[in-house]
Amino acid sequence: MKRKIIIIGSGFSSISASCYLAKAGYEVTILEKNSSVGGRARLLTKDGFKFDIGPTWYWMPDVFEKFFADFDKKPSDFYDLEKLAPAYQVYFDRLDSLLISDKIEEIYEVVWYNNDENLNIRLFTIPVEDAVYAFNMLYPSILLIEFFKKKFSKEPKF
């Protein structure tokens, strides 16, 4: 008989954990309070407009590719990415908005050189070498996917 596990919430972490647990032989049930899954990756539609609830950029595509590869799949089996230009637009009220470019150089210029104090935007820069070092140091420890893969490759003790 399969052991049963209940996961509360259906964000990226919960869904990825449930995939690894199911692959390891567990019967997984996900409980979600909202009418749709995805956690902060959901979409709100109101009065003909669409709003991202959470993530706006597709950061670290290699993480997604690795996750899908663990299940002999690839992201393109499930979704197509479409680059948007501009990436998005932030509305502060009916007359005031900010276009966010799809090019990092233009984002930097808007935030750094045209910083409206009403936006209260701060840009912190660090040398590329420091960013690469930080990424390489943190990458193994921040991926919950890897945690669950390692943790549940053997029978967990409850």
The reported pLDDT for the residue numbered 123 is 47
- pLDDT-derived band of residue 81, with 50, 70 and 90 as boundaries? confident
The reported pLDDT for the residue numbered 77 is 97
Q: What are 50's strand-pairing partners? A: 45
- The whole-number average pLDDT for the span 59-76 is 91
- The whole-number average pLDDT for the span 22-48 is 90
pLDDT at 102 over 70: yes
Report the interhelical angle of 144-151 vs 61-69 (nearest 10°): 20
> CA–CA separation, 57 vs 75, rounded Å?
15
pLDDT at 126 over 50: yes
Nearest to 89 by CA among 56, 58, 67, 120: 56
Structural domains in the chain plus CATH codes: 4-82 (3.50.50.60)
- The whole-number average pLDDT for the span 6-22 is 94
**CA angle 9-65-149, nearest 5°?**
55
- What are the start-end ranges of the E strands in the chain? 4-8, 27-31, 43-46, 49-52, 88-91, 97-100
The reported pLDDT for the residue numbered 52 is 78
- The whole-number average pLDDT for the span 123-147 is 58
- Look over the chain and give the mean of its residue pLDDT values, rounded to a whole number: 77
pLDDT at 8 over 70: yes
- pLDDT-derived band of residue 67, with 50, 70 and 90 as boundaries? very high
pLDDT at 25 over 80: yes
Terminal Cα distance for the chain, rounded: 16
